[in-house]
Structure 1
Amino acid sequence: MELFFFPLNCFYVFMLLLLPLFYAYFSGKAHKFFHHRAALDNQELCEFILSPFFPPADLSGKQFTFPSDPKSVNQPRVALRANTRLITVMTVCLRFFSQLNRMQGLFSLATRDHSNALMLNKDAEGSYKVHAGDDTYVFTKLPTNRMDWNSVCWTWDSRTGLTQLWLNGLRTSQKLVGQNYLVRGDLSIIVGQEQDAYGGGFDRNDSFEGDITDLHMWDRVVSACDLRSYMNQGSFSPGNLLNWNNLNFEVSGNVSIQDADFEETSDRGDVACAVRQLTAASSSTADTQTDGEGNEKLSVLLTTAGS
């Protein structure tokens, strides 16, 4: 009998010796959660709980690839996490490559109160549908490439209700959608599918097939100059709500991360911005300066832009 209990007693002693190591490993988060949970608001608790599932990553030079897989049970999609719970104005930009000529979900943001809080879908060729709450608008006859990459940006301002699309360097006229609508609460952001419910309700017929890269989201209406720079692979300030270079995401289904084959086209966006800024500076100082160094610099920039 003593021989039987001897290994068991050794096991208990061994586990007791390991307890300090377990405590040292988990003490940081455990202390924060159990001893300071009263001081945490709901958002911080959600961030604490969700952080292991949304590791940030630099996806520069990478793309999400959504393959065609009719046998897949789990709808291919990518969940994103934005560092906000209130959106009143925004710009979202992404690049996509797809040969399908049907409705596809590009960007879907849902709250627990509204599955179509903010949504951008590509409909039939040349048509794009945007949602802001209960309001919808369809932009038609836009120049979409089916054998090349497309760069699309969507701006929206709740205060004015003005919304606009940019596609491959061209802009639409501004429309009125979702005036005074506020996006608030827990956000579920999905790329590659349309949400018909918070974090779910996916339909295979709405799924995206192709590649997506360079996704950014800002809490402001990005200037036309910066949008053109984004379209032309120029320099721009990355999104402060969603940043492709520091993205929190979770992949579901057969989505994979591949090297992006979107090539840098030109730096004309940077040149155009520099020309505009220098022109504005020259106009503001025209009373105190004659033709000189400022005009010579402008001439050089204009020559570069036209080359």
Structure 2
Amino acid sequence: MPFVYTLYQHMSKLFLNRFFLHSNTSLCSLYVGETKGSSDTLILEFSGRSDRKHARLLHKFSSMGSVTVCTRLRFDPNCFGISTIFSYSIQSHINEFQLRANLIQGKPVQLALMVHGIHGPYQEAVDHDDSWHSVCVSWSQNGGRWALYTHGLGFSRGDGLNSSDSIGPDGLFIIGQEQDTFGGSFKKDESFSGSITELHIWDRVLNGSEIFTMEKECSLISSGLVFKWSGAAMEIESSLTKLWRDNPCQGKLVGNLHGNGRNLKGYQYLNQNYKRSTGIVDTVKDRRG
């Protein structure tokens, strides 16, 4: 099995090198001045930690009893600590919905959801290797069920993560920063560093088959789609670098070889109850809520 994983990594890097130059030169210096092509997608480049760089979705959100968010991202390999991929806040509760990463040197990227101020467990997700990764997260008020996916395959799920409240309406969805006040008070040491593209939101839970199909076919499920990635649908802070590049979706390459090392080794969903998890769960609620 290590041979399969090594083969996957080798083929993935060969594929990605066709579109992205993996060197010490920043993507910003490589691509500044390029114009948008017909098949290009917008990539937001967060060059280093900052208390400024962010993008705010212009979508007006309704109350959601369930939600799925999928995106493609690349983590800065020289960035460690807590990294906020996105945060959604409402006036009455700042930490309403978040996806956070914990970056530890020499270890895989750990991901965790926060819902209504309740922090779920961090789970090892993808290698911290400067490569593009596909990530999907889902949550339902029904039992507080949540799930995490990488490269089209589920690797962790649980329940008991805020089953009492839906995600509130009229909030602010911000990419790349945690919100300590409604829409602001960003912290540099919890910001995102890397690249993000193709972030989409559904107001329902996508099942594993749907997420697998989207990843394998580089397609979108239209049912329940409430936000589709578009530069026109975001307010992008001026210091954030905007790149127009080919969509980094690897399609059938990932569909055939599949995912990160944990998927290839045959790991199943952890099927753990959030309330019974120990050691890696922060159960501290947001005191501002």
TM-score, structure 1 normalization = 0.62
Shift of 1:205: 0.5
Which moves more between the two structures, 111-120 or 127-136?
127-136
Equivalent in the alignment of 1:68 = 48
**CA 1:185–1:265 in structure 2 vs 1: closer, same or farther (change >3 Å)?**
closer
Check conservation: 2:85, 2:101, Cα contact below 8 A: yes
Aligned residue among 78, 82, 85 for 2:55: 78
Equivalent in the alignment of 1:174 = 157
Shift of 1:266: 3.0
Instruction: Report the count of equivalent residues.
Output: 211
Check conservation: 2:85, 2:192, Cα contact below 8 A: yes
Task: Measure, in 1, the Cα distance between the counterparts of 2:93 and 2:66.
Answer: 17
Task: Measure, in 1, the Cα distance between the counterparts of 2:249 and 2:167.
Answer: 34
Check conservation: 1:233, 1:269, Cα contact below 8 A: no
Task: Measure, in 1, the Cα distance between the counterparts of 2:39 and 2:166.
Answer: 30
1:227 aligns with 2:211: yes
When the two chains are superposed, the root-mean-square deviation of aligned CA atoms in Å is: 2.6
Task: Measure, in 2, the Cα distance between the counterparts of 1:127 and 1:251.
Answer: 27
The 5-angstrom pairing of residues 64-143 of structure 1 reads 64-68=44-48, 75-98=52-75, 99=77, 100-124=79-103, 125-143=108-126
Q: Which amino acid aligns with 2:203?
A: D
Task: Measure, in 2, the Cα distance between the counterparts of 1:252 and 1:59.
Answer: 24
Task: Measure, in 1, the Cα distance between the counterparts of 2:240 and 2:116.
Answer: 28
Equivalent in the alignment of 2:242 = 257
The 5-angstrom pairing of residues 239-278 of structure 1 reads 240-245=225-230, 248-260=233-245, 262-267=247-252
Task: Measure, in 2, the Cα distance between the counterparts of 1:96 and 1:65.
Answer: 10
Aligned residue among 175, 179, 188 for 2:172: 188
**CA 1:101–1:84 in structure 2 vs 1: closer, same or farther (change >3 Å)?**
same
Shift of 1:235: 2.1
Check conservation: 2:73, 2:196, Cα contact below 8 A: yes
Q: Is the radius of gyration larger for structure 1 or structure 2?
A: 1
Q: Which amino acid aligns with 1:66?
A: F
Partner of 1:175, secondary structure, is strand
1:204 aligns with 2:188: yes
Shift of 1:246: 7.4
Q: Percent identity?
A: 22
Check conservation: 2:54, 2:174, Cα contact below 8 A: yes
Task: Measure, in 2, the Cα distance between the counterparts of 1:196 and 1:173.
Answer: 28
What residue ranges of structure 1 are gaps of 5+ in the alignment?
A: 1-57, 272-307
Check conservation: 1:91, 1:220, Cα contact below 8 A: yes
Shift of 1:192: 0.5
Equivalent in the alignment of 1:215 = 199
Greater helix content:
1
Residues 244-273 of structure 1, C-alpha deviations (whole Å, 9 max, x = no match)? 1475110114112102355442347899xx
Partner of 1:254, secondary structure, is coil
Task: Measure, in 2, the Cα distance between the counterparts of 1:229 and 1:269.
Answer: 11
**CA 1:97–1:233 in structure 2 vs 1: closer, same or farther (change >3 Å)?**
farther
**CA 1:221–1:105 in structure 2 vs 1: closer, same or farther (change >3 Å)?**
same
Check conservation: 1:96, 1:213, Cα contact below 8 A: yes
Equivalent in the alignment of 1:23 = none
Equivalent in the alignment of 1:153 = 136
